[in-house]
Amino acid sequence: MTEIDTKKISTSEKIYADSLIVIGKDGIMSYEDIFNDLKTVKQAVSESEDFAKVMENPSISDSTKDEIVDEIFTGKINNRILNFLKILISKKRFKELNLIIQAYSNELDKINNTQRIEVISAVELTDEQKQKLTKKLEIKLHKNIVASWILNKDIIGGLVIKIDDNIIDNSLKHKLESLSKNII
């Protein structure tokens, strides 16, 4: 997943994500198929506010929610993921689906030795510049890099690279602010 969720992932969300990882490890489904099915569900939830409200409404029975999930997803996702959704419904955890998906994506990145980063620049980088930067980071971090490229003219020039909670700020704006602090 390319989006970075700012909310902290709980232990229970990691446990549910790990149960999906086991399905992939056991070869029951591929990791990618699991992820694609989860994205299908996430998209349906995000596109229908009514669907999300129904799934989170405690006054609607689990069996009704199961029927709704069956109606929407049967034939569109694997039955194992369909059953996983029903477990989330029965455990009153469906509202945690997005964070479970994020936790699954994080675990998948570990398995694939992948590091997701954000690169913020004031101007659009060429494909060659992006490739060079990606290669340098892959060598430095010993990981496969998946970069999100973001334009932000406020940084004036240079780059800001976000790797997890670490920020490498080599922007002209940052350098000018540092120089200004040193002068004052």
* Strand-pair category, 114-121 with 158-163: antiparallel
Task: For residue 7, give the nearest of 149, 150, 86, 106 by alpha carbon.
Answer: 106
- Confidence category of residue 69, pLDDT binned at 50, 70, 90: very high
Beta bridge partners of 118: 148, 162
| pLDDT tens per residue across span 157-175 | 888 899 988 988 877 776 6
Closest alpha carbon to 113 in 146, 148, 143, 147: 143
Q: What is the mean pLDDT of the chain?
A: 90
Return the closest-CA partner of residue 4 out of 95, 102, 97, 96: 102
pLDDT given at position 184:
67
145 close to 134: Cβ distance less than 8 angstroms:
yes
pLDDT of residue 3: 43
User: Average pLDDT in the 18-45 region?
Assistant: 95
Counting every residue written for the chain, the total comes to 184
The CB density around residue 56, as the number of other CB atoms within 10 Å, is: 13
All residues at 6 or more sequence positions from 105 whose CB lies less than 8 Å from its CB, including other chains = 1, 35
The pTM (predicted TM-score) of the whole model is 0.78
> pLDDT: is 164 or 33 the higher one?
33
Contacts for 121 with CB less than 8 Å, ≥ 6 apart? 149, 150, 151, 152, 155, 158, 159, 160
Tokens representing 2 are 């390319």
Domains along the chain?
A: 11-110 (1.10.520), 113-183 (no CATH)
State yes or no: pLDDT of 5 exceeds 60. Answer: no
Q: What is the pLDDT, as a whole number, of residue 170?
A: 79
pLDDT above 70 as % of the chain: 93
CA atoms within 13 A on the CB side of 131: 3
pLDDT at 4: 43
pLDDT digits (tens, 9 = 90+) for 114-150: 999 999 998 999 999 999 999 999 999 999 999 999 9
Tokens at 107, concatenated = 């675990």
